[in-house]
Amino acid sequence: MSFEGSCHCGAVTFTVEAEAPDQAISCNCSHCRRKGFLLAFYPATQVRVTGEESLTEYRFNTHRLAHMFCRACGVQPFAQGAGPDGAATRAVNLRCVPAIDLDALSVQAFDGAEL
């Protein structure tokens, strides 16, 4: 099973080779809070991206995560970095996945403001 998403203009698309999540993480760091992200984390090998040439990145604070966003429309479909075990990870912005019912997700708070 898999699910798909994109930036607003469609220049960047992604496919996640996994079941669509029923949970999301809402982080209160200065970046995520302002953008209203609902995130789900996957090994980078499970997330295929097309249109990578349309992406640019933004890093802040610890610079551990590369927040990837579309140069044309400004939407951030995912971030990438290393998980706690060092494995390459992508944090998918579930607001960029039209097939997911965001109101049906169980949302878990993450205190990123304290990092």
Residue 98 gets which letter from DSSP?
A: T
With 0.95 as the threshold, say if the pTM is over it. Answer: no
The SS3 call for residue 103 is helix
Indicate the CATH number for domain 3-110.
Answer: 2.170.150.70
Percentages helix, strand, coil for the chain, rounded to the nearest 5? 20, 40, 40
Euclidean distance between CA atoms 36 and 34, whole angstroms: 6
d(CA 111, CA 114): 6
Task: Show me where the domains of the chain are located.
Answer: 3-110
Per-residue pLDDT of the chain (115 residues; tens, 9 = 90+): 999 999 999 999 999 999 999 999 999 988 899 999 999 999 999 999 999 999 999 998 777 889 999 999 999 999 999 988 999 999 999 999 999 999 999 999 999 887 6
